[in-house]
């Protein structure tokens, strides 16, 4: 699978999800090492990762908010989110926060998704990208910042409905930190 990610141009991946810990902390660390040995930064496990794009430094953070807190995976804890964003702001101009959140097979975000999306923006995030519902969910502009609640499925084996076979790929262009 790593070869496919490299071929597709993926250079950052979030491991913060409800299945990352299925095989324990050793497997999470092994996955992180495999990705990083192939030039893909892993976020969602311990604070921000940074990437320079066109002379602008970006910070990427990932959090899981499905199921329960697991060792080795960043949980959607408000104090941690505030702390991580503050740390990232010291180094990066643009802060992108990803969440694994929301109820599966729903076309609209739930109240927890909206709360966390707004919370991250209020804490200093410039863009919030969410996933987990397996269906595309809408976007929101909150205080001039974009929240994408769910992109749907990208590459996945859920072939049993049109909505689970659909997904979008976001392309985000920044001018300064906008």
Residue 135 has pLDDT above 70, yes or no: no
Distance CA 12, CA 32 (A): 11
Which of 90, 81, 79 has the alpha carbon at shortest distance from 43?
81
Q: For 26-53, what is the mean pLDDT?
A: 94
Token duo for residue 130:
């969410």
Distance CA 115, CA 57 (A): 27
pLDDT tens-digit map of 71-120: 899 999 999 999 999 999 999 999 999 999 998 878 899 999 999 999 99
Which of 140, 149, 145 has the alpha carbon at shortest distance from 168?
149
Q: For 150-169, what is the mean pLDDT?
A: 74
Token duo for residue 19:
């299945």
Q: Quick one: 62 exposed, middle or buried, by C-beta within 10 A (0-12, 13-18, 19+)?
A: buried
pLDDT tens-digit map of 51-73: 998 889 999 999 999 988 888 99
């Amino acid at each position: 699978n790593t070869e496919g990610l490299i071929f597709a141009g993926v250079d950052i991946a979030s491991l913060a999800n409800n299945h990352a810990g299925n095989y324990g902390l050793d497997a999470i660390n092994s996955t992180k090492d495999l990705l990083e040995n192939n030039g893909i930064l892993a976020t969602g496990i311990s604070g921000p990762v940074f990437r320079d794009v066109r002379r602008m430094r970006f910070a990427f953070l990932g959090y899981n908010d499905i199921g329960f807190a697991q060792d080795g995976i960043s949980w959607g804890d408000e104090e941690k989110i505030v702390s991580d964003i503050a740390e990232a702001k010291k180094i990066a101009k643009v802060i992108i926060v990803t969440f694994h959140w929301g109820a599966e097979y729903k076309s609209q975000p739930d109240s927890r998704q909206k709360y966390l999306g707004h919370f991250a923006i209020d804490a200093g995030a410039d863009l919030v990208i969410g996933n987990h519902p397996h269906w595309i969910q809408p976007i929101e502009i909150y205080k001039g910042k974009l929240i994408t609640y769910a992109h749907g499925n990208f590459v996945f084996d859920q072939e049993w409905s049109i909505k689970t076979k659909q997904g979008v790929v976001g392309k985000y262009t920044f001018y300064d930190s906008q």
